[in-house]
Amino acid sequence: MKTRYFQIGAVGTSLTSDRRDVLEEYLGLYRKYLVDVAPAWRTDIQVLRKPLRFPHRRRYEVIANRRTRYEPARRDEIYPYVEWAINFEVPRTMPEYLQLHASTLQVGDEGVIFPGGSGSGKSTLTTGLVASGFRYLCDEFALIHADTLMLAPFPRAICVKKPSYEAVESVGVSMSGVRHYYKGTKGYVGYVNPLSIRPDAVGESCPIRWVIFPKYQAGEEPRLTPISRAQAAFDLHRVCFNLLSCRTIGLDVIAGMIRGARCFQLVSGEIKATCELVKDLVGERMSLAAAG
Amino acid sequence: MSTNDQANAITTRSAPPGEVGQVVSALGNELKTSSVPRRRHDLTVHELDGEALIFDAKSADTHRLNMTACFIWRLCDGRHEPREIAETLTRHFDVDFDEALEHTERMLDEFTGRQLLAENELVPGAARSAGGDPAEDGQRGDR
Protein backbone atom coordinates (compact mmCIF):
# COMPACT_ATOMS: atom_id res chain seq x y z
CA MET A 1 0.00 0.00 0.00
CA LYS A 2 1.47 3.33 -1.01
CA THR A 3 0.38 6.91 -0.37
CA ARG A 4 1.19 9.96 -2.46
CA TYR A 5 0.41 13.56 -1.58
CA PHE A 6 -0.61 16.30 -3.99
CA GLN A 7 -1.22 20.01 -3.76
CA ILE A 8 -3.28 20.80 -6.84
CA GLY A 9 -3.69 24.55 -6.66
CA ALA A 10 -5.80 25.28 -3.60
CA VAL A 11 -6.83 21.65 -3.17
CA GLY A 12 -4.74 19.17 -1.21
CA THR A 13 -5.25 15.44 -1.71
CA SER A 14 -3.67 12.15 -0.87
CA LEU A 15 -4.07 8.97 -2.85
CA THR A 16 -3.48 5.58 -1.28
CA SER A 17 -3.83 2.36 -3.20
CA ASP A 18 -2.78 -1.24 -3.25
CA ARG A 19 -2.76 -0.94 -7.04
CA ARG A 20 0.40 0.50 -8.44
CA ASP A 21 -1.24 1.22 -11.80
CA VAL A 22 -3.82 3.44 -10.13
CA LEU A 23 -1.10 5.52 -8.50
CA GLU A 24 0.86 5.68 -11.76
CA GLU A 25 -2.20 6.80 -13.63
CA TYR A 26 -2.81 9.63 -11.18
CA LEU A 27 0.85 10.59 -11.25
CA GLY A 28 0.67 10.72 -15.02
CA LEU A 29 -1.72 13.67 -14.73
CA TYR A 30 -0.58 15.26 -11.48
CA ARG A 31 3.16 14.64 -11.14
CA LYS A 32 3.80 18.38 -11.15
CA TYR A 33 1.70 18.73 -8.01
CA LEU A 34 3.37 15.92 -6.05
CA VAL A 35 4.52 17.05 -2.59
CA ASP A 36 6.57 15.26 0.05
CA VAL A 37 4.67 16.53 3.06
CA ALA A 38 0.98 15.87 3.54
CA PRO A 39 -1.01 19.07 2.94
CA ALA A 40 -2.62 20.23 6.17
CA TRP A 41 -6.04 20.46 4.54
CA ARG A 42 -6.66 17.63 2.17
CA THR A 43 -9.01 14.96 0.96
CA ASP A 44 -7.71 11.45 1.59
CA ILE A 45 -8.61 9.05 -1.17
CA GLN A 46 -8.08 5.32 -1.02
CA VAL A 47 -8.58 2.96 -3.94
CA LEU A 48 -8.72 -0.66 -2.83
CA ARG A 49 -9.47 -3.93 -4.54
CA LYS A 50 -12.29 -5.86 -2.94
CA PRO A 51 -11.69 -9.48 -1.96
CA LEU A 52 -12.34 -11.94 -4.73
CA ARG A 53 -14.44 -14.11 -2.45
CA PHE A 54 -17.33 -11.83 -3.36
CA PRO A 55 -17.18 -12.23 -7.12
CA HIS A 56 -20.78 -11.17 -7.58
CA ARG A 57 -20.08 -7.83 -5.97
CA ARG A 58 -18.27 -4.79 -7.29
CA ARG A 59 -14.55 -5.19 -7.41
CA TYR A 60 -13.12 -1.89 -6.19
CA GLU A 61 -13.72 0.63 -3.47
CA VAL A 62 -13.10 4.35 -3.69
CA ILE A 63 -12.93 5.73 -0.16
CA ALA A 64 -12.87 9.45 0.58
CA ASN A 65 -11.94 10.62 4.06
CA ARG A 66 -12.54 7.11 5.43
CA ARG A 67 -16.00 6.73 3.93
CA THR A 68 -16.70 4.43 1.01
CA ARG A 69 -18.10 6.63 -1.72
CA TYR A 70 -18.10 4.42 -4.79
CA GLU A 71 -17.70 0.76 -5.67
CA PRO A 72 -16.77 0.69 -9.35
CA ALA A 73 -17.03 -2.64 -11.11
CA ARG A 74 -14.71 -1.81 -13.96
CA ARG A 75 -11.08 -0.87 -13.99
CA ASP A 76 -11.76 2.03 -16.36
CA GLU A 77 -14.31 3.50 -13.95
CA ILE A 78 -11.84 3.98 -11.11
CA TYR A 79 -10.24 7.24 -12.14
CA PRO A 80 -13.53 9.12 -12.82
CA TYR A 81 -14.76 7.98 -9.42
CA VAL A 82 -11.56 9.23 -7.77
CA GLU A 83 -12.20 12.63 -9.35
CA TRP A 84 -15.83 12.53 -8.27
CA ALA A 85 -14.85 11.60 -4.73
CA ILE A 86 -12.53 14.60 -4.56
CA ASN A 87 -15.22 16.84 -6.02
CA PHE A 88 -17.64 15.56 -3.42
CA GLU A 89 -15.29 16.26 -0.56
CA VAL A 90 -14.08 19.71 -1.62
CA PRO A 91 -17.23 21.60 -0.52
CA ARG A 92 -17.15 19.76 2.82
CA THR A 93 -13.50 20.27 3.59
CA MET A 94 -12.88 23.79 2.30
CA PRO A 95 -15.49 26.05 3.91
CA GLU A 96 -13.30 29.10 3.41
CA TYR A 97 -14.20 28.94 -0.27
CA LEU A 98 -17.52 29.48 -1.95
CA GLN A 99 -17.81 26.83 -4.59
CA LEU A 100 -19.73 27.24 -7.80
CA HIS A 101 -20.30 24.76 -10.58
CA ALA A 102 -18.25 26.52 -13.22
CA SER A 103 -15.13 26.33 -15.28
CA THR A 104 -12.61 29.05 -14.58
CA LEU A 105 -9.87 30.69 -16.58
CA GLN A 106 -7.47 33.59 -16.30
CA VAL A 107 -6.69 36.20 -18.89
CA GLY A 108 -4.08 38.81 -18.05
CA ASP A 109 -4.54 39.15 -14.34
CA GLU A 110 -8.32 38.79 -14.49
CA GLY A 111 -10.51 35.80 -13.78
CA VAL A 112 -13.25 34.56 -16.09
CA ILE A 113 -15.85 32.11 -14.88
CA PHE A 114 -18.22 30.05 -17.00
CA PRO A 115 -20.95 28.80 -14.66
CA GLY A 116 -23.13 25.97 -15.78
CA GLY A 117 -24.24 22.45 -15.14
CA SER A 118 -23.31 19.31 -16.98
CA GLY A 119 -23.95 19.59 -20.70
CA SER A 120 -23.54 23.35 -20.91
CA GLY A 121 -20.35 22.84 -22.88
CA LYS A 122 -18.04 24.45 -20.37
CA SER A 123 -15.27 21.84 -20.49
CA THR A 124 -15.07 21.88 -24.28
CA LEU A 125 -15.09 25.66 -24.29
CA THR A 126 -12.45 25.70 -21.57
CA THR A 127 -10.18 23.43 -23.57
CA GLY A 128 -10.61 25.60 -26.65
CA LEU A 129 -9.85 28.78 -24.74
CA VAL A 130 -6.75 27.30 -23.11
CA ALA A 131 -5.58 26.34 -26.58
CA SER A 132 -6.29 29.97 -27.59
CA GLY A 133 -4.07 31.46 -24.91
CA PHE A 134 -6.21 31.66 -21.79
CA ARG A 135 -4.73 30.23 -18.62
CA TYR A 136 -6.48 27.37 -16.93
CA LEU A 137 -7.79 27.32 -13.37
CA CYS A 138 -10.42 24.57 -13.26
CA ASP A 139 -13.06 22.89 -15.41
CA GLU A 140 -15.48 22.04 -12.62
CA PHE A 141 -15.34 24.51 -9.73
CA ALA A 142 -15.05 28.19 -9.21
CA LEU A 143 -13.35 28.35 -5.83
CA ILE A 144 -13.90 31.87 -4.50
CA HIS A 145 -12.17 32.79 -1.27
CA ALA A 146 -14.83 34.08 1.11
CA ASP A 147 -12.65 36.87 2.52
CA THR A 148 -10.58 38.04 -0.43
CA LEU A 149 -13.11 37.18 -3.20
CA MET A 150 -10.15 35.91 -5.22
CA LEU A 151 -10.62 33.02 -7.62
CA ALA A 152 -8.35 30.12 -6.68
CA PRO A 153 -6.88 27.57 -9.08
CA PHE A 154 -7.72 23.89 -8.92
CA PRO A 155 -6.06 22.79 -12.15
CA ARG A 156 -7.38 19.25 -12.30
CA ALA A 157 -7.23 17.42 -15.60
CA ILE A 158 -9.91 18.64 -18.01
CA CYS A 159 -12.65 16.07 -18.47
CA VAL A 160 -13.70 15.88 -22.13
CA LYS A 161 -16.64 13.72 -23.16
CA LYS A 162 -16.09 11.47 -26.15
CA PRO A 163 -18.67 13.25 -28.35
CA SER A 164 -16.60 16.43 -27.88
CA TYR A 165 -13.27 14.91 -28.96
CA GLU A 166 -13.67 16.17 -32.51
CA ALA A 167 -14.38 19.72 -31.37
CA VAL A 168 -11.42 19.70 -29.02
CA GLU A 169 -9.12 18.33 -31.71
CA SER A 170 -10.29 21.07 -34.09
CA VAL A 171 -8.64 23.62 -31.81
CA GLY A 172 -5.37 21.70 -31.83
CA VAL A 173 -5.68 19.57 -28.70
CA SER A 174 -4.85 15.98 -29.55
CA MET A 175 -6.95 13.28 -27.91
CA SER A 176 -5.05 10.42 -29.54
CA GLY A 177 -2.72 9.76 -26.62
CA VAL A 178 -5.39 10.32 -24.01
CA ARG A 179 -6.66 7.34 -22.08
CA HIS A 180 -10.41 6.82 -22.12
CA TYR A 181 -12.52 6.08 -19.09
CA TYR A 182 -16.09 5.08 -18.47
CA LYS A 183 -17.95 7.71 -16.45
CA GLY A 184 -21.41 6.28 -15.86
CA THR A 185 -24.20 8.21 -17.52
CA LYS A 186 -21.71 10.59 -19.15
CA GLY A 187 -20.33 7.69 -21.19
CA TYR A 188 -16.67 7.62 -22.19
CA VAL A 189 -14.45 10.53 -21.30
CA GLY A 190 -10.81 11.49 -21.62
CA TYR A 191 -8.77 13.58 -19.20
CA VAL A 192 -6.55 16.22 -20.75
CA ASN A 193 -3.60 17.49 -18.77
CA PRO A 194 -3.71 21.28 -19.32
CA LEU A 195 0.09 21.36 -19.22
CA SER A 196 0.09 19.15 -22.30
CA ILE A 197 -1.72 21.95 -24.16
CA ARG A 198 0.79 24.60 -23.14
CA PRO A 199 3.57 24.40 -20.55
CA ASP A 200 2.43 27.72 -19.10
CA ALA A 201 -1.26 26.91 -19.29
CA VAL A 202 -2.03 26.96 -15.59
CA GLY A 203 -2.99 30.28 -14.03
CA GLU A 204 -2.94 31.62 -10.52
CA SER A 205 -5.21 33.27 -8.00
CA CYS A 206 -6.94 36.35 -9.47
CA PRO A 207 -9.99 38.62 -9.08
CA ILE A 208 -13.11 37.74 -11.08
CA ARG A 209 -13.87 40.28 -13.79
CA TRP A 210 -16.02 38.28 -16.19
CA VAL A 211 -19.00 36.00 -15.55
CA ILE A 212 -20.22 34.28 -18.69
CA PHE A 213 -23.02 31.71 -18.63
CA PRO A 214 -22.50 29.32 -21.54
CA LYS A 215 -25.21 27.28 -23.16
CA TYR A 216 -24.22 24.97 -25.97
CA GLN A 217 -26.63 24.89 -28.88
CA ALA A 218 -25.42 22.81 -31.81
CA GLY A 219 -25.40 24.70 -35.09
CA GLU A 220 -26.17 28.06 -33.51
CA GLU A 221 -24.25 31.20 -34.30
CA PRO A 222 -22.37 32.02 -31.10
CA ARG A 223 -23.54 35.21 -29.44
CA LEU A 224 -23.11 37.12 -26.20
CA THR A 225 -25.89 38.94 -24.37
CA PRO A 226 -25.18 41.27 -21.46
CA ILE A 227 -27.15 40.55 -18.30
CA SER A 228 -27.53 42.52 -15.09
CA ARG A 229 -25.30 41.80 -12.14
CA ALA A 230 -28.36 40.95 -10.03
CA GLN A 231 -29.50 38.37 -12.55
CA ALA A 232 -25.99 36.94 -12.77
CA ALA A 233 -25.72 36.78 -8.98
CA PHE A 234 -29.11 35.09 -8.74
CA ASP A 235 -28.15 32.54 -11.39
CA LEU A 236 -24.77 32.00 -9.73
CA HIS A 237 -26.32 31.15 -6.40
CA ARG A 238 -28.29 28.43 -8.16
CA VAL A 239 -25.08 26.65 -9.11
CA CYS A 240 -23.48 27.05 -5.70
CA PHE A 241 -22.45 23.85 -3.92
CA ASN A 242 -22.14 25.33 -0.43
CA LEU A 243 -24.32 28.41 -0.21
CA LEU A 244 -25.16 27.71 3.43
CA SER A 245 -22.11 25.78 4.55
CA CYS A 246 -19.56 28.31 3.36
CA ARG A 247 -17.89 30.13 6.24
CA THR A 248 -19.51 33.37 5.17
CA ILE A 249 -23.06 33.73 3.89
CA GLY A 250 -22.71 32.57 0.31
CA LEU A 251 -24.83 35.33 -1.15
CA ASP A 252 -22.56 37.93 0.45
CA VAL A 253 -19.59 36.42 -1.35
CA ILE A 254 -21.43 36.31 -4.67
CA ALA A 255 -22.69 39.89 -4.32
CA GLY A 256 -19.26 41.15 -3.35
CA MET A 257 -17.59 39.37 -6.22
CA ILE A 258 -20.14 40.32 -8.87
CA ARG A 259 -19.78 44.06 -8.23
CA GLY A 260 -16.44 43.98 -10.01
CA ALA A 261 -17.54 41.77 -12.91
CA ARG A 262 -19.18 42.16 -16.28
CA CYS A 263 -21.84 39.54 -16.91
CA PHE A 264 -23.08 37.83 -20.06
CA GLN A 265 -25.00 34.89 -21.39
CA LEU A 266 -23.23 33.02 -24.15
CA VAL A 267 -24.86 30.83 -26.74
CA SER A 268 -21.99 28.65 -27.85
CA GLY A 269 -21.93 26.80 -31.11
CA GLU A 270 -18.96 25.83 -33.22
CA ILE A 271 -15.97 25.84 -30.92
CA LYS A 272 -13.56 28.01 -32.91
CA ALA A 273 -16.13 30.72 -33.57
CA THR A 274 -17.19 30.64 -29.93
CA CYS A 275 -13.61 30.99 -28.72
CA GLU A 276 -13.06 33.92 -31.08
CA LEU A 277 -16.17 35.63 -29.76
CA VAL A 278 -15.01 35.28 -26.16
CA LYS A 279 -11.51 36.42 -27.10
CA ASP A 280 -12.98 39.50 -28.76
CA LEU A 281 -14.87 40.29 -25.57
CA VAL A 282 -11.79 40.15 -23.38
CA GLY A 283 -9.40 41.00 -26.21
CA GLU A 284 -7.82 43.97 -24.51
CA ARG A 285 -6.78 41.76 -21.62
CA MET A 286 -5.41 39.14 -24.01
CA SER A 287 -3.17 41.77 -25.60
CA LEU A 288 -1.96 42.98 -22.24
CA ALA A 289 -1.18 39.43 -21.19
CA ALA A 290 0.81 38.81 -24.37
CA ALA A 291 2.71 42.08 -23.97
CA GLY A 292 3.47 41.30 -20.33
CA MET B 1 -43.02 49.80 -16.38
CA SER B 2 -43.72 47.14 -18.99
CA THR B 3 -45.94 44.09 -18.61
CA ASN B 4 -42.82 41.98 -18.78
CA ASP B 5 -41.25 44.08 -16.08
CA GLN B 6 -44.20 43.45 -13.82
CA ALA B 7 -44.39 39.75 -14.58
CA ASN B 8 -40.72 39.18 -13.73
CA ALA B 9 -40.49 41.59 -10.84
CA ILE B 10 -39.48 38.98 -8.28
CA THR B 11 -37.69 35.71 -8.83
CA THR B 12 -37.35 33.29 -5.96
CA ARG B 13 -35.32 30.18 -5.49
CA SER B 14 -35.42 27.92 -2.46
CA ALA B 15 -32.24 26.27 -1.28
CA PRO B 16 -31.88 22.63 -2.29
CA PRO B 17 -33.04 20.22 0.44
CA GLY B 18 -29.55 19.20 1.46
CA GLU B 19 -28.44 22.78 1.78
CA VAL B 20 -31.02 23.99 4.25
CA GLY B 21 -29.38 24.19 7.62
CA GLN B 22 -32.29 25.30 9.72
CA VAL B 23 -35.70 25.54 8.23
CA VAL B 24 -38.20 27.20 10.46
CA SER B 25 -41.84 26.42 10.01
CA ALA B 26 -43.60 28.64 7.60
CA LEU B 27 -45.34 31.54 9.18
CA GLY B 28 -48.51 30.76 7.29
CA ASN B 29 -50.65 33.21 5.46
CA GLU B 30 -51.63 35.30 8.42
CA LEU B 31 -49.20 37.99 7.42
CA LYS B 32 -50.94 40.88 5.87
CA THR B 33 -49.63 43.91 4.17
CA SER B 34 -49.65 46.55 6.81
CA SER B 35 -51.08 49.90 5.99
CA VAL B 36 -47.54 51.16 6.39
CA PRO B 37 -45.46 48.29 5.05
CA ARG B 38 -42.12 47.67 6.65
CA ARG B 39 -39.31 45.40 5.53
CA ARG B 40 -38.20 42.58 7.78
CA HIS B 41 -35.01 43.69 9.46
CA ASP B 42 -33.40 40.25 9.55
CA LEU B 43 -32.99 39.78 5.80
CA THR B 44 -29.68 40.05 3.99
CA VAL B 45 -30.11 42.53 1.16
CA HIS B 46 -27.68 43.36 -1.61
CA GLU B 47 -28.49 46.09 -4.09
CA LEU B 48 -26.80 45.69 -7.44
CA ASP B 49 -27.26 48.44 -10.03
CA GLY B 50 -30.77 49.24 -8.85
CA GLU B 51 -31.91 45.64 -8.52
CA ALA B 52 -31.74 43.62 -5.33
CA LEU B 53 -30.92 40.18 -4.03
CA ILE B 54 -32.53 39.22 -0.76
CA PHE B 55 -31.51 36.22 1.28
CA ASP B 56 -33.88 34.96 3.95
CA ALA B 57 -31.85 32.87 6.37
CA LYS B 58 -34.99 31.55 8.05
CA SER B 59 -36.33 29.91 4.93
CA ALA B 60 -33.03 29.74 3.03
CA ASP B 61 -34.86 31.35 0.12
CA THR B 62 -33.19 33.84 -2.17
CA HIS B 63 -35.20 36.47 -4.02
CA ARG B 64 -34.24 38.74 -6.85
CA LEU B 65 -36.09 42.03 -7.24
CA ASN B 66 -35.99 43.89 -10.50
CA MET B 67 -35.66 47.67 -10.56
CA THR B 68 -39.31 48.48 -9.99
CA ALA B 69 -39.73 45.91 -7.25
CA CYS B 70 -36.53 47.14 -5.65
CA PHE B 71 -37.77 50.72 -5.79
CA ILE B 72 -40.96 49.76 -3.97
CA TRP B 73 -38.99 47.61 -1.55
CA ARG B 74 -36.87 50.58 -0.52
CA LEU B 75 -40.01 52.50 0.33
CA CYS B 76 -41.27 49.76 2.64
CA ASP B 77 -39.67 51.52 5.57
CA GLY B 78 -42.62 51.76 7.94
CA ARG B 79 -43.19 55.40 6.98
CA HIS B 80 -44.96 55.22 3.64
CA GLU B 81 -48.45 54.06 2.88
CA PRO B 82 -49.12 52.31 -0.42
CA ARG B 83 -50.63 55.45 -1.89
CA GLU B 84 -47.49 57.41 -1.08
CA ILE B 85 -45.33 54.71 -2.61
CA ALA B 86 -47.48 54.87 -5.74
CA GLU B 87 -47.14 58.66 -5.87
CA THR B 88 -43.39 58.34 -5.66
CA LEU B 89 -43.46 55.76 -8.45
CA THR B 90 -45.24 58.22 -10.72
CA ARG B 91 -42.37 60.68 -10.23
CA HIS B 92 -39.71 58.16 -11.21
CA PHE B 93 -41.40 56.00 -13.83
CA ASP B 94 -43.56 56.74 -16.82
CA VAL B 95 -46.76 55.59 -15.19
CA ASP B 96 -50.01 57.21 -14.02
CA PHE B 97 -51.17 57.05 -10.43
CA ASP B 98 -53.82 54.34 -10.86
CA GLU B 99 -51.41 52.04 -12.61
CA ALA B 100 -48.70 52.79 -10.06
CA LEU B 101 -51.06 52.04 -7.18
CA GLU B 102 -52.16 48.78 -8.75
CA HIS B 103 -48.55 47.79 -9.27
CA THR B 104 -47.59 48.82 -5.75
CA GLU B 105 -50.39 46.78 -4.23
CA ARG B 106 -49.46 43.79 -6.34
CA MET B 107 -45.83 44.09 -5.25
CA LEU B 108 -46.82 44.41 -1.60
CA ASP B 109 -48.90 41.26 -1.97
CA GLU B 110 -45.87 39.55 -3.48
CA PHE B 111 -43.64 40.73 -0.65
CA THR B 112 -46.18 39.51 1.86
CA GLY B 113 -46.59 36.17 0.14
CA ARG B 114 -42.85 35.70 0.20
CA GLN B 115 -42.74 36.78 3.84
CA LEU B 116 -40.42 39.66 3.22
CA LEU B 117 -42.36 42.19 5.28
CA ALA B 118 -42.49 42.48 9.03
CA GLU B 119 -45.57 41.04 10.65
CA ASN B 120 -48.66 43.18 10.55
CA GLU B 121 -47.75 46.20 12.51
CA LEU B 122 -49.56 49.45 12.17
CA VAL B 123 -47.41 52.41 12.86
CA PRO B 124 -49.84 55.18 13.65
CA GLY B 125 -48.63 58.54 12.56
CA ALA B 126 -45.44 57.16 11.16
CA ALA B 127 -46.37 57.91 7.63
CA ARG B 128 -45.74 61.39 6.35
CA SER B 129 -42.97 61.85 8.85
CA ALA B 130 -40.08 62.82 6.68
CA GLY B 131 -41.34 64.55 3.59
CA GLY B 132 -39.23 64.77 0.44
CA ASP B 133 -38.62 61.81 -1.79
CA PRO B 134 -37.82 58.76 0.30
CA ALA B 135 -36.62 56.89 -2.74
CA GLU B 136 -33.67 59.21 -2.78
CA ASP B 137 -32.83 59.21 0.90
CA GLY B 138 -29.78 57.10 0.42
CA GLN B 139 -31.09 53.87 1.92
CA ARG B 140 -29.07 51.13 0.33
CA GLY B 141 -30.39 47.89 1.67
CA ASP B 142 -30.64 46.60 5.16
CA ARG B 143 -27.25 45.19 5.88
For B20-58, what is each residue's pLDDT tens digit? 322 222 222 333 334 899 999 999 999 999 999 999 988
A-B C-beta contacts closer than 8 Å = 55
Domains identified in chain B and CATH numbers: 3-13+29-114 (3.90.930)
DSSP A107-159: ETTEEEEEE--TTSSHHHHHHHHHHTTPEEEESSEEEEETTT-EEEP--PPEE
Helices (H) and strands (E) in chain A, counts: 9, 17
Residues of A in contact with B57 (CB under 8 A): 249
A30 pLDDT band (50/70/90 cuts)?
Answer: very high
Binary contact (A249, B44; C-beta < 8 A): yes
For B84-122, what is each residue's pLDDT tens digit? 999 999 999 999 999 999 999 999 999 999 999 997 544
For B51-60, what is each residue's pLDDT tens digit? 999 999 888 8
Binary contact (B53, A244; C-beta < 8 A): no
As a CATH number, domain A97-291 is: 3.40.50
Average pLDDT score over residue span A134-138: 97
pLDDT exceeds 80 at position A103? yes
pLDDT of residue A91: 82
For A242-251, what is each residue's pLDDT tens digit? 888 766 678 8
Q: Which residue in A88, A92, A100, A231 has the most chain B C-beta atoms within 10 A of its own C-beta, making it the best mutation to test that interface? A: A231
For A157-200, what is each residue's pLDDT tens digit? 999 999 999 999 999 999 988 889 988 888 899 999 999 999 99
For A38-67, what is each residue's pLDDT tens digit? 999 899 999 998 877 666 666 889 999 999
B10: closest CA of chain A, how far (Å): 11
A74 pLDDT band (50/70/90 cuts)?
Answer: confident
- Mapped onto helix, strand or coil, the DSSP state of residue B109 is helix
**Which are the contacts of A176, defined by CB distance < 8 A and separation ≥ 6?**
none
Q: What rounded mean pLDDT belongs to chain A?
A: 91
Q: What rounded mean pLDDT belongs to chain B?
A: 74
B2 pLDDT band (50/70/90 cuts)?
Answer: low
pLDDT of residue A185: 81
User: CA-to-CA distance for B36 and B78, rounded, in angstroms?
Assistant: 5
Residues of A in contact with B62 (CB under 8 A): 234, 237, 251
For A199-235, what is each residue's pLDDT tens digit? 999 999 999 999 999 999 988 999 999 999 999 999 9
Which whole-number Å values give the CA distances from B49 to A167, A257, B60, B65, B67, in the listed order? 38, 14, 24, 11, 8
Domain edges within chain A: 2-93, 97-291
Residues of B in contact with A231 (CB under 8 A): 51, 64
Q: Which residue of B has its CA nearest to A228?
A: B49
Q: Which residue of B has its CA nearest to A260?
A: B48
Residues of A in contact with B53 (CB under 8 A): 230, 233-234, 237, 251, 254-255
Average pLDDT score over residue span B63-83: 95
pLDDT of residue A64: 96
DSSP A23-41: HHHHHHHHGGGEESSPPSS
Binary contact (B19, A238; C-beta < 8 A): no
A87 within 8 A of A141, measured Cβ to Cβ: yes
B134 pLDDT band (50/70/90 cuts)?
Answer: very low
pLDDT exceeds 60 at position B123? no
Residues of B in contact with A237 (CB under 8 A): 13, 53, 62
A66: closest CA of chain B, how far (Å): 21
A190 within 8 A of A162, measured Cβ to Cβ: yes
Binary contact (B19, A231; C-beta < 8 A): no
pLDDT exceeds 50 at position B78? yes
